C-alpha cells in the first residue's frame, strides 16, 4: 500500500476507516453543558452562557483541527470568546468552518425550563453561510419527503396540506413545531385551521429542527422565525440527517432591516440547504443542558455528573447517542470543565 493521504482520510474519501471529528467535539459540548447546568434555574442567563462559552473554548482548543468561527458569540468588545472570525482548535489537522451555540436556550436554562442544548456544527472551510448583521430567519424544516413539496413561498396551511399528501397521512396527523412567540400567531392559527396540531416550544428551534428532520418526537415540520445563525447550524444537522430545509432572512426591527440592506443581504431569497452550508461534509454535535425532548439534561448526583449527547456526521450518516458519566472528584484539581465552583 502506498503512502496514505491524510487529507483524504480526514475527509472520509479514503477507503480506509477514518476519523470522526464529532467524537472529539462532543467533549466541548459536554463541558459547556456541564458548566451551564450549574446555572439552571438561577435567573442569570449571562452567567450560564459565559460559563458554557469558556468551557467550550478550552475543550475546542484540545482538538486536532483549525476551525474558523463563522457563527460565534458575536463580536464582543471585551475578552473575545468564540467571536466570529476567531480560530479555534490546536491548529493541527484539517481546516473547517465552525458554528457554536454554547447554550441554545439561555433563557430556559436561567428559568429552569426544558429543551436547552449546547451545540457545535462544523463543515469544510469556506462553506458555511454567515448571516452577518441579521438576527432572524424564517425557517421551514421537514424530512426529505418535503423536498419539492413544501416551500416558504406557500402559506402555513398549504404547507401542512402538501406535506400530509407527501407523507400519505391525514392532515389531522401532522404536527408542526413552532417557537411560542406573538409573531407566530398567524402561523399557529393557520396550522390549526388546516386541521393539524401545533407543538409549541418556549425556546430552542435547533433541537426542534432535529425532530422535524427525522420526523421524531411526533414532529413533522418546523415553521417560524428563529435565530439566523442557528439556521446555519440547523442546516448542518439537516445535511447530516438527510432532511429538507429552507430559510429566508427575516429582520424584525427597522434597524435590523437597515443593517441587513447595508450588508447587501437579499431579503427575498429563499435559501436552500446548499446555500446555508455548501459542503456535504458536516458534523453536528449537541449535549443536553436541561431535560428536553431530544436529549436529557445534565444530571448530577454527588460525585457523578451524567451527560447525554448526539453526534451526527453527514459523510457516513451515523447518528450516535453518547451517554457519559463524569466523575467530578477526579477533576477537582484541574481546570475547566469540572471545576465545580458553580455547583
Ligand atoms: C428563539 C429561540 C431559538 O432564536 O427563537 C431565538 O427559541 C430568537 O427568537 O432557539 P426571540 O428573539 O424571539 O427569542 C433561537 O435562539 C435560535 O433560533
The 10s digit of each residue's pLDDT in 210-260 is: 999 999 999 999 999 999 999 999 999 999 999 999 999 999 999 999 999
Under the banding of pLDDT at 50, 70 and 90, the label for residue 303 is: confident
CA of residue 23 to ligand 1 center, whole Å: 27
Q: In this predicted model, which residue has the larger pLDDT, 83 or 160?
A: 160
Distance 226 CA to ligand 1 centre (A): 4
Q: What angle do CA 80, 81, 82 make, to 5 degrees?
A: 120
As a whole number, mean pLDDT of residues 37-58 equals 93
pTM of the model: 0.92
Output the CA 114–ligand 1 centroid distance in Å: 14
Atom of ligand 1 nearest to the CA of 234: 18
The dihedral through the CA atoms of 159, 164, 165, 170 has a sign that is: negative
More confidently predicted of 251 and 81: 251
E strands within the chain? 66-71, 87-88, 95-104, 117-124, 136-142, 175-179, 197-201, 221-227, 244-249, 271-272, 282-288, 299-301, 304-313, 319-327
CA 179 to ligand 1 centroid distance, Å: 8
pLDDT value for 12: 53
| Protein residue whose Cα sits closest to atom 18 of ligand 1 | 227
Mean pLDDT score of the chain? 91
Task: Supply the residue whose CA is at minimum distance from atom 3 of ligand 1.
Answer: 204
**In the chain, pLDDT over 90 holds for what percent of residues?**
85
pLDDT band at 81 (very low <50, low <70, confident <90, very high): confident
181 lines ligand 1 (CB under 6 A): yes
Provide the pLDDT confidence category of residue 342 given band limits of 50, 70 and 90. very low
Q: What is the pLDDT of residue 30?
A: 96
User: Does 247 sit in the ligand 1 pocket, CB within 6 Å?
Assistant: no
**Number of neighbouring beta carbons within 10 Å of residue 327:** 12
Provide the pLDDT for residue 119. 98
Nearest CA to ligand 1 atom 10: 204
Q: How many whole angstroms from 227 Cα to the centroid of ligand 1?
A: 5
Considering only CA atoms, which residue is closest to atom 1 of ligand 1? Answer: 226
- Burial label, 287 (beta-carbon count in 10 A; 0-12, 13-18, 19+): buried
Q: Which atom of ligand 1 is nearest to the CA of 135?
A: 8
Amino acid at each position: 500500500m502506498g503512502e496514505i493521504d491524510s487529507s483524504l482520510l480526514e475527509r472520509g474519501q479514503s477507503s480506509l476507516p477514518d476519523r470522526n471529528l464529532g467524537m472529539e467535539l462532543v467533549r466541548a459540548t459536554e463541558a459547556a453543558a456541564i458548566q451551564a447546568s450549574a446555572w439552571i434555574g438561577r435567573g442569570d442567563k449571562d452567567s450560564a452562557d459565559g460559563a458554557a462559552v469558556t468551557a467550550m473554548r478550552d475543550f475546542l482548543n484540545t482538538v486536532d483541527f483549525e476551525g474558523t468561527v463563522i457563527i460565534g458569540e458575536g463580536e464582543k468588545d471585551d475578552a473575545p470568546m468564540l467571536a466570529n472570525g476567531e480560530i479555534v482548535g490546536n491548529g493541527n489537522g484539517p481546516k473547517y468552518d465552525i458554528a457554536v451555540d454554547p447554550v441554545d436556550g439561555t433563557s430556559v436554562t436561567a428559568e429552569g425550563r426544558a429543551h436547552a442544548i449546547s451545540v457545535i456544527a462544523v463543515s469544510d472551510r469556506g462553506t458555511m453561510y454567515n448571516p452577518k448583521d441579521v438576527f432572524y430567519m424564517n425557517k421551514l424544516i421537514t424530512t426529505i419527503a418535503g423536498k419539492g413539496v413544501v416551500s416558504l413561498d406557500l402559506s402555513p396551511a398549504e404547507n401542512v396540506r402538501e406535506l400530509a399528501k407527501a407523507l400519505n397521512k391525514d392532515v389531522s396527523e401532522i404536527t408542526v413545531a413552532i417557537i411560542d412567540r406573538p409573531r407566530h400567531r398567524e402561523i399557529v392559527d393557520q396550522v390549526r385551521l388546516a386541521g393539524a396540531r401545533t407543538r409549541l416550544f418556549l425556546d430552542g428551534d435547533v433541537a426542534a429542527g432535529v425532530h422535524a428532520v427525522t420526523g421524531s418526537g411526533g414532529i413533522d415540520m418546523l415553521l417560524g422565525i428563529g435565530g439566523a445563525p442557528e439556521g446555519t447550524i440547523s442546516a448542518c444537522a439537516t445535511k447530516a440527517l438527510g432532511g429538507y430545509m429552507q430559510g429566508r432572512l427575516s429582520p424584525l426591527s427597522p434597524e435590523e432591516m437597515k443593517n441587513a440592506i447595508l450588508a447587501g443581504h437579499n431579503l427575498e431569497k429563499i435559501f436552500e440547504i446548499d446555500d446555508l452550508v455548501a459542503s456535504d461534509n458536516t458534523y453536528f454535535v449537541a449535549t443536553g443542558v436541561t431535560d428536553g425532548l431530544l436529549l436529557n439534561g445534565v444530571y448530577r448526583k454527588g460525585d457523578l455528573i451524567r451527560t447525554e449527547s448526539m453526534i451526527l456526521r453527514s459523510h457516513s450518516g451515523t447518528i450516535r447517542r453518547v451517554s457519559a458519566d463524569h466523575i467530578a472528584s477526579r477533576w477537582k484539581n484541574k481546570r475547566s470543565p469540572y471545576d465545580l465552583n458553580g455547583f
